[in-house]
Amino acid sequence: MSELAYGGIVINNAGEVLMRSPSGFWGGYAWTFAKGGSEPQDQSPENTALREVREETGYVCEVVAPIPGAFESETCITKYFLLRPIGEVHSFDHETQEIRWVSKEEAFKLINLTVPEKGRLRDSNALKSAIEVMQSL
């Protein structure tokens, strides 16, 4: 597995986590975070994460901090950034069927609905790391 993706874990000022439900239960994922591969116009991993979050959730965000580590699933390795929403909300793209702001505890419960074990572990470990980064700021 060599594909590298970049994504964002969005946490608002109330401490809620933005979760997205992929259209058609894609890949067995019930709830996850926005992520995807780089495109030429992105110019940086941070810009890739910001673009993916905007496209897949409709939220305009800013980078708060990188989340240490690389998180592996069945299809790729993802590096995440802790993001904060800052702008207008737009509609999300066809890859997402629903978005939801939830407590950290509820986010872990939603992640556990995902079928592939590697995906569950990736998302729960990434969220744990994001919370640690947020608490260290």
Bridge-based pairing state of the strands 77-89 and 4-10: parallel
**CA dist., res. 117 & res. 11, Å (int):** 24
Provide the pLDDT for residue 2: 59
72 close to 122: Cβ distance less than 8 angstroms: yes
Q: Which two tokens stand for residue 66?
A: 């990188």
Q: Which long-range contacts (CB under 8 A, 24 or more apart) does 65-68 make?
A: 65/133, 65/137, 66/133, 67/9, 67/126, 67/129, 67/130, 67/133, 68/129, 68/133
Confidence (pLDDT) at 131: 97
Residue ranges making up the domain that contains 48: 4-136
Q: Which helix (H) or strand (E) holds 4?
A: strand 4-10
User: How far apart are alpha carbons 40 and 61 in whole angstroms?
Assistant: 20
Report pLDDT for 73. Answer: 84
CATH assignment of the domain containing 95: 3.90.79.10
pLDDT at position 1 is 46
Indicate the number of domains in the chain.
Answer: 1
65 bridge partner residues: 82
Kindly report the pTM of this predicted structure: 0.92
**pLDDT tens, residue order, the chain (137 aa):** 458 999 999 999 999 999 999 998 767 889 999 999 888 788 899 999 999 999 999 999 999 999 999 998 888 899 999 999 998 778 888 889 999 999 999 999 999 999 989 999 999 999 999 999 999 99
